[in-house]
Amino acid sequence: MSERPLPSLEDVRAAARRIAPHIHRTPVMRSRTLDAMANASLYFKCENLQRVGAFKMRGATNAIFSLSDAVARRGVATHSSGNHAQAVALAAKLRGVDAHVVMPEDAPEVKRAAAESYGARIVTCASNLRAREQTLAEVVEATGATPIHPYDDARVIAGQGTAALELLEQEPELDVLIAPVGGGGLLSGSALAASSQGGALRVIGAEPAAADDAFRSLESGQRQPSLDPVTLADGLRTALGELPFRILREHDVRIRLVDEPEIVGAMRLVWERMKLLIEPSAAVAVATALFDAEAGLAGMRVGVLLSGGNVELEALPFGSSLRA
C-alpha cells in the first residue's frame, strides 16, 4: 500500500479561503498576570470562542466543504463523541447535508445535546472503540455517507492549521507557537502553517504526561500506542494519528509534557484572570507556557492555541460546590 500524501502549507491556505464564510475569525487575548508568570509575551488564540466552542469546526468544515455535491448529498458520518461530533454536525448543516454521529452511550450529555441541536442524527453504541467503528461502518454502508475522521485526514489537518495561519496574520512576529496534542490534527496543521515563516517560528506540542504517546512516538521514531491514559484533558486521550505523526517528524516538532496539577492550575488561572472558559485540553498548552521552565520561552513572543471551551459545569476540578 502506498503512503497517503501529506497535506501542504498551500492546502492550509486553501482551507482558510474555503472555510472563511462559515467560521469565526477568533480574537487574540493577552494577560499581564500570565505574561509575568511566564516571563514571556503570551498571545492566546481564542478557539474556545470558535463556533461549536473549539477549533474542530475548522477541520470539519474544510473536509465537508471539500466534498463534491454528489458525494456530500449522501451525508457525512463520524464516531467522535467530542467536539469533532459537534463540528461535523454544524458543518453538515451549513452544507445542507445529513450528519450521522455515532456516540457511546456514556457520552457527556452536553455534547450529545449540542450535536443534536445542530440537527445531527445520533446513533448510540456501546462504549468501546470496536463497537464505535463497527456502528460507523454500518451507518456508512446503509447511507453512503462519507466518514470524516477527527484527525487522521489531510483535509481535516489542513483545516485545523488555519487557526495558526490566522494567528500569524494577527500577530506576525511570534517566536514560538504552542498547541496541545492528542490525535495530532491541530498540532500538525499548526506545523504546516508555521512553515510559512521559513523556520523562524518554533512549534511545540503540549501533551499530558499521563497521555504521552506523542512524546514517546517522536522520541522513538515509531508510533507508540496510547496506554489507557488517565488525564483530565479528555480531548487528548486519543493516540497520535499516522498522518499527524509523519508531519510532526518532517517538521521536527518537539513535545513537552505537563502533569495534571499543572493542567488544573493553568485552567484555573485562565478562568480567574482572563475570564475565559477553556477546557482542560486547552489548559495543557497554557501549562506548558506557564510552568515549563525547560521549554526555553523566557523573553519570547509565544502564541498559545486555546483549543476549546467545552466543559461540563457539573464536573469541575476546582473543589466541591457549596450549592445544590
End-to-end Cα distance, the chain: 57
Q: Which of 275, 293, 294, 298 binds a second copy (CB under 8 A)?
A: 275
CA nearest neighbour of 211 among 188, 191, 232, 190 = 232
Q: Please tell me whether residue 83 binds a second copy under the rule CB under 8 A.
A: no
Q: Grid cell 473549539 — which residue?
A: 54
Residue 229 touches a second copy, criterion: CB under 8 A:
no
Nearer to a second copy, 298 or 322 (CB): 322
Q: Does 276 bind a second copy (CB under 8 A)?
A: yes
Nearest CB to a second copy, comparing residues 99 and 232 = 232
Phi-psi region of 275 (alpha: psi -120 to 50; beta: other; left: phi over 0): left
Q: 296 or 317: whose CB is closer to a second copy? A: 317
CB of 275 to a second copy, least distance (A): 4
Nearest approach in angstroms of CB 268 to a second copy is: 7
Determine, following the binding rule CB under 8 A, whether residue 13 of this chain makes contact with a second copy. Answer: no
Q: Which of 7, 53, 147, 159 binds a second copy (CB under 8 A)?
A: 53
- Regarding 272 and contact with a second copy (CB under 8 A), the answer is yes
Residue 171's SS3 state is coil
CA distance 120 to 101: 7
Q: Tell me how many degrees the CA angle 141-142-147 measures, rounded to the nearest 5.
A: 55
21 part of the interface to a second copy, by CB under 8 A? no
- Give the interface segment with a second copy, choosing from 132-140, 177-185, 190-198, 265-273 (CB under 8 A): 265-273
Residue number, 22 or 100, with CB nearest to a second copy = 22
Helix (H, G, I), strand (E, B) or coil at 208: strand
Q: Which of 122, 131, 209, 316 binds a second copy (CB under 8 A)?
A: 316
Residue 221 in contact with a second copy, rule: CB under 8 A: no
Vertex 96 angle, CA 95 and 102, to 5°: 90
Rule CB under 8 A: is residue 48 a binding residue for a second copy? Answer: yes
**Which of 168-176, 221-229, 239-247, 314-322 is the region at the interface with a second copy (rule: CB under 8 A)?**
314-322
Q: Which stretch binds a second copy (CB under 8 A): 45-53, 146-154, 219-227, 290-298?
A: 45-53
Distance CA 41, CA 131 (A): 46
**Inter-axis angle of helices 154-170 and 242-250, to 10 degrees?**
40
For a second copy, the closer CB: 67 or 270: 270
Those residues whose C-beta lies under 8 Å from the C-beta of residue 148, and which sit 6 or more positions away, are: 60, 63, 64, 76, 77, 78, 84, 88, 156
- x/- mask, a second copy, residues 105-124, rule CB under 8 A, reads -----x--------------
| DSSP string of 64-123, one letter each residue | HHHS-HHHHTT-EEE---SHHHHHHHHHHHHHT--EEEEEETTS-HHHHHHHHHTTPEEE
| Of the candidate residues 18, 74, 246, 268, the single one contacting a second copy (CB under 8 A) | 268
Task: Point out which residues bind a second copy (CB under 8 A).
Answer: 27, 46, 48-49, 53, 110, 268, 271-272, 274-278, 309, 313-324
